[in-house]
């Protein structure tokens, strides 16, 4: 998320978070190239792709399921007990009005619908948090309790999750630079940046919650502050997946990082050459998968509704890295590699 929008001729009340502020939105630039689309709820193979020398996916199989927003399930292997990593899992998707003309009020109450969350029967070995905003972290404490997963995030993220009842022994503070090896895969934590939007660019709900004292339990969306941003690289048999939790990145911290599959968000209006620089820095990934492009006020069990940034992203990827394959998933679809 990116800013709290004031009046300034917009007709919106001060203090309301809007779509434009959420991601640093740029205007769409036409239809762009045809995306690879698959029927919602299905499993499909991405097929071969160029870019980064067309490195093949791991022989054991790799499955990526999209739960809308930046919520991802990554399964390493094909068995029922395959190691599973969740990124920013947010399934409740309570109404905020963020994508409406009025925008979202900062005092919008946080809602955690445990029935909805449990209905997806998710399992996880690790949960990776990119930043502390409500559309990324609200459901994580409950999922930590039900899955027993290790949860990674900054000190602020961990403190907020402690306040929301996440088991303290499962929470791990990271700040970027950490590399974690597991059987068959590894996770690298990358320091990152959040997008900034508006006439006076700033991060929405900025702030930190440092220290050993547990803060008061968050009750509104403004209580879940950004708290520093992280990105993650998940490596499986030499195949590298990079996920960005917002439409910005730290070029210095991404030096030497390469990706075969990049999960990238639309937006980045205040980031110079956002898409082109990132794709070049990561070695022109074979696959580019858009994330955080749907209106998250719409139900997860219905087809995703583009908030308006997808075509611009597709066109930017085509121009900057024409050999990369742009693969768009719908809600609950699984990409098999």
Tokens describing residue 59: 């022989």
- In this predicted structure, what is the pLDDT of residue 7? 26
CB 134 within 8 A of CB 109: no
Q: 109 by DSSP, 3-state: which?
A: strand
Do residues 279 and 324 touch, judged by C-beta distance below 8 A?
yes
Q: Which neighbouring-strand residues pair with 229? A: 192
CA distance 321 to 336: 22
Task: Residue 202: give its domain's CATH number.
Answer: 3.60.15.10
* Model confidence at 105: pLDDT above 80: yes
Residue-wise pLDDT tens digits, 275-294: 999 999 999 999 999 999 99
* Each residue's pLDDT tens digit, 194-212: 998 878 888 889 999 999 8
Question: What tokens were used for 155?
Answer: 């000190």
| Structural domains of the chain, count | 1
315 vs 51 pLDDT, higher one = 315
How much is the pLDDT for 159? 97
282 and 254 in contact (C-beta within 8 Å)?
Answer: yes
Mean pLDDT over 165-176 rounds to 98
pTM: 0.87
Residue 247: domain span:
4-336
């Amino acid at each position: 998320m990116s800013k709290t929008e004031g009046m300034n001729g917009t007709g919106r009340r001060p203090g309301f978070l809007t779509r434009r502020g959420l991601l640093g939105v740029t205007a769409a630039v036409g239809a762009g190239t045809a995306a690879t689309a698959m029927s919602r709820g299905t499993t499909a193979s991405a097929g071969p792709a160029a870019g980064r020398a067309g490195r093949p996916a791991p022989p054991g199989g790799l499955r990526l399921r999209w739960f809308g927003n930046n919520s991802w399930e990554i399964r390493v292997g094909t068995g029922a007990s395959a190691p599973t990593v969740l990124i920013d899992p947010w399934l409740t998707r309570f109404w905020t009005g963020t994508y409406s003309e009025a925008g979202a009020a900062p005092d919008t109450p946080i809602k955690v619908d445990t029935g909805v969350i449990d209905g997806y029967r998710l399992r996880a070995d690790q949960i990776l948090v990119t930043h502390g905003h409500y559309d990324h972290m609200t459901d994580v404490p409950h999922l930590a309790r039900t899955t027993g997963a290790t949860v990674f995030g900054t000190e602020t993220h961990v403190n907020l999750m402690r306040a929301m009842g996440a088991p303290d022994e499962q929470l791990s503070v990271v700040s970027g630079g950490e590399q974690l090896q597991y059987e068959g895969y590894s996770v690298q934590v990358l320091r990152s940046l959040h997008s900034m939007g508006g006439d006076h660019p700033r991060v929405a709900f900025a702030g930190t919650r440092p220290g050993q004292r547990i803060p008061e339990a968050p009750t509104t969306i403004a209580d879940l502050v950004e708290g520093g941003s992280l990105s993650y690289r998940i490596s499986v048999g030499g195949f590298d997946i990079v996920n960005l939790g917002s439409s910005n990145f730290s070029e210095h911290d991404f030096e030497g990082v390469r990706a075969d599959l990049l999960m990238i968000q639309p937006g980045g209006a205040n980031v110079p050459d956002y898409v082109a620089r990132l794709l070049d820095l990561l070695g022109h990934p074979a696959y580019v998968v858009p994330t955080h492009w749907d209106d998250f006020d719409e139900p997860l069990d219905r087809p995703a509704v583009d908030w308006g940034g997808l075509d611009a992203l597709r066109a930017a990827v085509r121009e900057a890295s024409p050999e990369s394959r742009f693969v768009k998933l719908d809600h609950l679809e699984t990409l098999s590699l």
